[in-house]
């Protein structure tokens, strides 16, 4: 018998491009949503330190879900995330700004500061609200255990979005 070269049957391309495209769209959508949230929080002429919007706490495993029920609740969620990120990196000026106060202002405290650090991860984040106030509930996973935080966020008369009250408790 004569050795004949085997006929090569071309393989059909594997359908990898569609999942990659969907992943790309998801990344673009998240980036757009984050940019839009930060843009909504910024008020022209407002004195807010630029570092406040520069960092957001990393997610815990499994991936947290934000489920705000209104546009203001989305703003409130972004502000609470920025506040906690400021605490995690030790940026008291930005943390106080999220509370609508100057550093060391009387009657305003960074009560989460002893519990939040660079190892802190956010679990579930949920928010409910109206057009000018919202309540944001956050699960925090820290080196000292799991804590639940509740933040009341309001639109100040100046139009600035600020955290009016906050509490952290261990279950």
Domain with residue 152: its CATH number is: 3.10.450
Q: What is the per-residue pLDDT across 67-121, written as a single tens digit (0 to 9) for each? A: 667 889 999 999 999 999 999 999 999 999 999 999 988 989 999 999 998 899 9
The pLDDT assigned to 134 comes to 94
Can you say whether the dihedral through the CA atoms of 113, 114, 119, 125 is positive or negative? negative
Contact 153, 166 (CB under 8 A): no
Q: What is the per-residue pLDDT across 109-139, written as a single tens digit (0 to 9) for each? A: 999 999 998 899 999 999 998 889 999 999 9
Instruction: Work out the average pLDDT over 139-153.
Output: 93
Q: Which domain holds residue 145?
A: 54-169
The pLDDT assigned to 144 comes to 87
145 assigned to some structural domain? yes
Q: What's the total number of domains in the chain?
A: 1
Task: Please report which confidence band the pLDDT of residue 4 belongs to, taking 50, 70 and 90 as the band edges.
Answer: low
The pLDDT assigned to 9 comes to 58
22 assigned to some structural domain? no
Q: Flag whether pLDDT at 33 surpasses 80.
A: no
34 assigned to some structural domain? no
DSSP secondary structure string for all residues of 11-46: PPPPS-HHHHHHHHHHHHHHHHHHHHHHHHH--TT-
Contact 94, 86 (CB under 8 A): yes
In angstroms, the CA 32 to CA 112 distance is 30
Instruction: Work out the average pLDDT over 46-57.
Output: 48
45 assigned to some structural domain? no
In the chain, pLDDT over 90 holds for what percent of residues? 44
The pLDDT assigned to 69 comes to 73
Question: In this structure, how many other beta carbons lie within 10 angstroms of the beta carbon of residue 171?
Answer: 7
Instruction: Work out the average pLDDT over 4-13.
Output: 58
């Amino acid at each position: 018998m004569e050795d004949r070269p085997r006929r090569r049957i071309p393989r059909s391309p594997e359908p990898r491009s569609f999942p990659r495209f969907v992943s790309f769209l998801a990344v673009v959508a998240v980036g757009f949503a984050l940019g839009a949230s930060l843009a909504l929080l910024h008020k022209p002429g407002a004195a807010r330190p630029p570092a406040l919007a520069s960092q957001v706490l990393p997610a815990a495993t499994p991936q947290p879900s934000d489920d705000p029920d209104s546009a203001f609740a989305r703003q409130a969620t972004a502000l609470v995330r920025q506040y906690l990120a400021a605490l995690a990196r030790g940026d008291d000026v930005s943390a106080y700004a999220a509370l609508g106060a100057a550093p060391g202002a009387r009657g305003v405290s960074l009560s989460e500061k002893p519990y939040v650090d660079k190892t802190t991860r956010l679990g579930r984040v949920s928010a409910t609200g109206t057009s000018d106030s919202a309540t944001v509930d956050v699960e925090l996973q820290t080196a000292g255990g799991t804590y639940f935080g509740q933040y009341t966020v309001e639109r100040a008369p100046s139009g600035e979005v600020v955290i009016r009250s906050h509490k952290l408790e261990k279950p």
